[in-house]
Amino acid sequence: MEHEDPVYLRRPAVPGEDRYVALALVNTRFTVSHGEVDLLDGTEAAHLWLVRHALLPDRVSLNGRQSGRLRALREALRALFAARAAGTPPPADALDTLNATLAAAPATPRLAWTADGPRRADVPDSGNPAAAALSQVAEDATDLLTGADADLLTECAAPGCAGWFLRSHGARRWCTTKCGNRVRAARAYAARKAGSP
């Protein structure tokens, strides 16, 4: 008998996840109707997430300490994103976690020469693939937090949603249409209930 993936594994990517894997990492913890879902809950789940995002070869194993570091990086990024969106200084431990992850497997800069000419190519540390994968996510987060897209970084305004996304226009408030529909349905229900005798 074949089993389908749970519906929450088939959820659409939120705006920006296609460009920033760090945004996808932050959105691995969310709430559905039956409770909280953590796509990194356990070593196997963390390994699968890294493989699905082409950060780690399937043949490379992940241990419990490494999967714990991935979850710690996710929580640090959530705090850093919140600080960036609020325009406040981030918690020191979140900044320390990001910087330690960056330093654990720094990429080596190289000069690549293609038909288009020379360009910088950073080669990830191949000695520790798991640390290199986490370092890539940390570099991606650093690029997001310091780049032109940083001003578009927004937390979903839907109650109960902890998702982050890149606003495609100023009026966008929800990470997905599902969140927007849920908020509008709740408002309509509350209005009907208030209007009933």
- Check residue 150 and give its pLDDT: 94
- Check residue 7 and give its pLDDT: 47
Query: In the chain, at which residue ranges do the beta strands (DSSP E only) sit?
Result: 29-32, 35-38, 108-114, 117-123, 153-155, 164-166
- Check residue 91 and give its pLDDT: 97
Cα separation, 103 vs 114, in Å, equals: 29
Domains identified in the chain and CATH numbers: 7-109+119-195 (1.10.3300.10)
Q: Phi and psi dihedrals of 123, rounded to 5?
A: -95, 120
Please tell me the pTM assigned to this model: 0.83
- Check residue 22 and give its pLDDT: 97
- Check residue 10 and give its pLDDT: 56
- End-to-end Cα separation, the chain, in angstroms: 51
DSSP assignments along 148-163, one per residue: GGGGGEEE--STT---
Q: For every one of its 197 residues, what pLDDT tens digit does the chain have, with 9 covering 90 and above?
A: 444 555 445 566 788 999 999 999 999 998 777 778 899 999 999 999 999 999 999 999 999 999 999 999 999 999 999 999 999 999 999 999 999 999 998 888 889 999 999 999 888 777 889 999 999 999 999 999 999 999 999 999 888 888 899 988 777 787 877 777 776 776 776 677 777 66
Q: How far is CA 59 from the centre of its chain?
A: 23
* Cα–Cα distance list, 134 to 71, 130, 192 (Å): 10, 6, 49
* Cβ-contact 150, 173 below 8 angstroms: no
DSSP assignments along 12-36, one per residue: PPPTTTTT-HHHHHHTTEEEETTEE
Residues paired with residue 165 on neighbouring β-strands, in sequence order:
154
